C-alpha cells in the first residue's frame, strides 16, 4: 500500500509521519488532576498497544498535575487545550510531548506566537485540531455550513497562524462525527499539505456503533494512503479504542504481530457451540506474544479448507473438534478439551514460528 509522503515529527519516543509506522493514539477519560488514576489508565493503554495518549487540561491544576503524569508515564503524553493559551504554556513546561490546540481560538496572534515559541524551545510538535463542531462563524458563512472545504480552510488557516511564527512541527486533524465528511475533508486536506495527519471520526459513538463508524472512516483513508496516526473515539473504556485501532491496522496489513483471529459465521452445518468457543479463544489469545493467524471454524468439512492460510485452526464436528495446522488436520479433541488443547497448539505453533524467525535472522 502506498502511503502519502508526509513530514516526520517526533512525539516523545514515537515518530509520526514520513513513513513511520502508523501510531495508535487514545485519550484518557480520567480526571487529569487525579494523577494515580490517570497513570493507571495510561499503563493499561500501553499494555494494550497504545503508542501515544492524550489528557485533557481544563484548568491550572490539571496542567500542573501533568508534570507528575509525564514523569511516570510509559507513553508520550499529549496535552489537550482549548481557548486558554496560559494552560498551553503551563502544559509545555510540565513536559507534554505534544500539545493539541486550535490556534484560531487561543485569542489572538500574540498568544499563538507565545505558545508556538514555547513549543519550539522544548522541541515538541503542535497538533492543529479542527472539529466540525468548532468552525468559526466566518468560515461557516463563507462556505455555507460545515463542508469539506470549510474544514480544510479552517485547518489551513490554523496552520498558517503557526507558520507565521516559523513553526512547522505540526500535525493536523480535521475530524467530524460524520464518517463521509471526515473522509472527504481529509482527502482534500491531504492534497494541500504534507504535514502528518492524525485521522479519526470524532464522537463516533458507543463501542459497537463507534467501532464501525471509525473503521469505515479511518479504514477508507488509510487504504488510500492518508493518515499517519489514528484515534478511534468511543464512548467507553479507552482500552477498547486501542483494540479497535489495532484491528483496523491489521485488517489493512498496516500492523503485523499479535494473533489475528478469523472465525466463520456458522451455518446450518455447525454442530458445536462455536460462537462461545470463538469468544473464549479471542479473550485467551489477546495478550499472547506470537505473530500467528488463528482460525475457529464451524465444521470439519469446509473449515480447514476455508482457513488454509491460517497457522493453526480448530473446526467443529459432531461431538468433537478437529485441530489443524495450515489446513492439514492433526488430531481430534473432545468438546471439554477443545479450548485448552487448542490454546496449547497455538502456543506450540507460536514458539515454533518465533524460533524459525530467530534462525532466519541468524
Ligand atoms: S466453516 Fe463450515 S460451519 Fe462455518 S460457515 Fe463454513 S461451512 Fe458453515
| Residue pLDDT, tens place only, 72-113 | 999 999 999 998 999 999 999 999 999 999 887 888 889 999
Confidence of residue 235 (pLDDT cuts 50, 70, 90): very high
316 Cα nearest atom in ligand 1 = 3
Indicate the domain borders of the chain.
9-251, 259-361
Distances (CA, A) of 7 to 41, 150, 181, 193, 264: 31, 24, 24, 10, 41
pLDDT value at residue 47: 93
Question: Would you state the cell numbers that stand for residue 166, as one nine-digit string?
Answer: 516559523
Question: Would you state the cell numbers that stand for residue 223, as one nine-digit string?
Answer: 487504504
Domains 9-251 and 259-361 share a fold: no
CA 303, CA 299: separation in Å to the nearest integer? Answer: 5
301 Cα nearest atom in ligand 1 = 2
Question: From the CB of 270, is ligand 1 less than 6 Å away?
Answer: yes
> What mean pLDDT do residues 33-58 have?
97
Q: Tell me the DSSP string of 191-231.
A: HH--S-BEE--TT--BHHHHHHHHHHHHHHHHHTT--SEEE
Q: Tell me the DSSP string of 258-272.
A: SEEEEE----TT--S
Q: Tell me the DSSP string of 94-161.
A: TT-SEEEE-GGGSSSHHHHHHHHHHHHHHT--EEEEEEGGG--HHHHHHHTSS-HHHHHHHHHHHHHH
Among 268, 277, 278, 302, which is best to mutate for testing ligand 1, by the most ligand atoms less than 8 A from CB?
302
Spacing, Cα 300 to ligand 1 middle (Å)? 8
CA 215, CA 8: separation in Å to the nearest integer? Answer: 25
Distances (CA, A) of 303 to 149, 226, 277, 285, 349: 49, 36, 15, 20, 19
Question: From the CB of 299, is ligand 1 less than 6 Å away?
Answer: yes
pLDDT of 361 above 80 = no
Ligand 1, atom 5, residue with closest C-alpha = 266
CA dihedral 157, 161, 162, 165 (to 10 degrees): 150
303 Cα nearest atom in ligand 1 = 1
Question: From the CB of 160, is ligand 1 less than 6 Å away?
Answer: no
Selection from 254, 257, 272 nearest residue 353 by Cα? 257
Name which residue leads in pLDDT, 259 or 190. Answer: 190
The three-state secondary structure class of 344 is helix
Distances (CA, A) of 73 to 48, 50, 254: 14, 12, 26
Fold held by 259-361? Sulfite Reductase Hemoprotein; domain 1 (3.30.413)
pLDDT value at residue 312: 95
Question: From the CB of 264, is ligand 1 less than 6 Å away?
Answer: yes
Ligand 1, atom 1, residue with closest C-alpha = 303
297 Cα nearest atom in ligand 1 = 1
CA 44, CA 64: separation in Å to the nearest integer? Answer: 23
CA 201, CA 179: separation in Å to the nearest integer? Answer: 6
Spacing, Cα 279 to ligand 1 middle (Å)? 17
Residue with cell 504554556: 89
Q: In the chain, what is the straight-line distance between the N-terminal and C-terminal CA atoms, in Å?
A: 29
Confidence of residue 230 (pLDDT cuts 50, 70, 90): very high
Q: Is 203 left (phi over 0), alpha (psi -120 to 50) or beta?
A: left
Confidence of residue 242 (pLDDT cuts 50, 70, 90): very high
Question: From the CB of 137, is ligand 1 less than 6 Å away?
Answer: no
CA 94, CA 102: separation in Å to the nearest integer? Answer: 20
Strand order in the sheet with 321-325: 259-263, 292-297, 312-316, 321-325, 328-333
Q: Are 335 and 327 in contact (CB under 8 A)?
A: no
Tell me the sheet residues that pair with 199: 230
CA 244, 151, 11, 3 torsion-angle sign:
positive
Spacing, Cα 247 to ligand 1 middle (Å)? 23
Fold held by 9-251? TIM Barrel (3.20.20)
Among 300, 303, 308, 321, which is best to mutate for testing ligand 1, by the most ligand atoms less than 8 A from CB?
303
Question: From the CB of 302, is ligand 1 less than 6 Å away?
Answer: yes
Q: pTM of the prediction?
A: 0.88
Spacing, Cα 311 to ligand 1 middle (Å)? 18
In tens, the pLDDT along 136-182 reads 889 999 999 999 999 999 999 999 999 999 999 999 999 898 999 99
Q: What angle do CA 138, 162, 19 make, to 5 degrees?
A: 110
> What mean pLDDT do residues 216-242 have?
96
Spacing, Cα 315 to ligand 1 middle (Å)? 9
Amino acid at each position: 500500500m502506498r502511503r502519502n509522503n508526509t513530514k516526520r515529527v517526533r512525539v516523545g519516543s514515537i515518530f509520526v509521519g514520513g513513513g513511520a509506522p502508523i501510531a495508535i493514539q487514545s485519550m484518557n477519560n480520567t480526571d487529569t488532576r487525579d494523577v494515580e488514576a490517570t497513570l493507571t489508565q495510561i499503563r493499561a493503554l500501553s499494555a494494550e498497544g497504545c503508542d501515544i495518549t492524550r489528557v485533557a487540561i481544563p484548568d491550572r491544576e490539571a496542567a500542573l498535575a501533568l508534570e507528575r503524569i509525564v514523569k511516570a508515564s510509559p507513553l508520550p503524553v499529549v496535552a489537550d487545550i482549548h481557548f486558554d493559551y496560559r494552560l498551553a504554556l503551563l502544559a509545555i513546561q510540565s513536559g507534554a510531548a505534544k500539545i493539541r490546540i486550535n490556534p484560531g481560538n487561543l485569542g489572538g496572534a500574540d498568544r499563538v506566537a507565545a505558545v508556538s515559541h514555547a513549543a519550539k524551545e522544548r522541541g515538541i510538535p503542535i497538533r492543529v485540531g479542527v472539529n466540525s463542531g468548532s468552525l468559526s462563524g466566518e468560515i461557516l458563512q463563507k462556505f455555507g455550513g460545515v463542508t469539506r472545504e470549510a474544514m480544510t480552510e479552517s485547518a489551513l488557516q490554523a496552520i498558517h497562524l503557526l507558520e507565521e511564527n516559523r513553526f512547522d512541527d505540526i500535525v493536523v486533524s480535521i475530524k467530524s462525527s460524520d464518517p463521509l465528511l471526515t473522509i472527504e475533508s481529509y482527502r482534500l486536506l491531504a492534497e494541500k499539505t504534507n504535514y502528518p495527519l492524525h485521522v479519526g471520526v470524532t464522537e463516533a459513538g458507543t463501542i459497537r456503533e463507534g467501532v464501525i463508524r471509525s473503521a469505515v472512516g479511518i479504514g477508507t483513508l488509510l487504504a488510500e494512503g492518508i493518515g499517519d496516526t489514528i484515534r478511534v473515539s468511543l464512548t467507553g473504556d479507552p482500552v477498547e479504542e486501542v483494540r479497535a485501532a489495532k484491528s483496523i491496522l491489521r485488517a489493512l496489513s498496516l500492523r503485523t504481530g499479535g494473533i489475528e483471529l478469523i472465525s466463520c459465521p456458522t451455518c446450518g452445518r455447525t454442530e458445536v457451540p462455536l460462537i462461545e468457543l470463538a469468544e473464549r479463544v479471542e479473550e485467551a489469545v489477546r495478550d499472547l506474544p506470537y505473530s500467528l493467524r488463528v482460525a475457529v471454524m464451524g465444521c470439519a468439512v469446509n473449515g480447514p479448507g476455508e482457513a488454509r492460510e491460517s497457522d493453526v485452526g480448530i473446526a467443529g464436528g459432531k461431538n468433537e473438534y478437529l485441530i489443524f495446522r495450515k489446513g492439514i488436520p492433526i488430531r481430534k479433541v473432545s468438546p471439554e478439551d477443545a479450548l485448552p488443547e487448542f490454546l496449547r497448539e497455538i502456543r506450540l505453533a507460536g514458539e515454533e514460528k518465533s524460533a524459525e524467525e530467530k534462525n532466519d535472522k541468524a
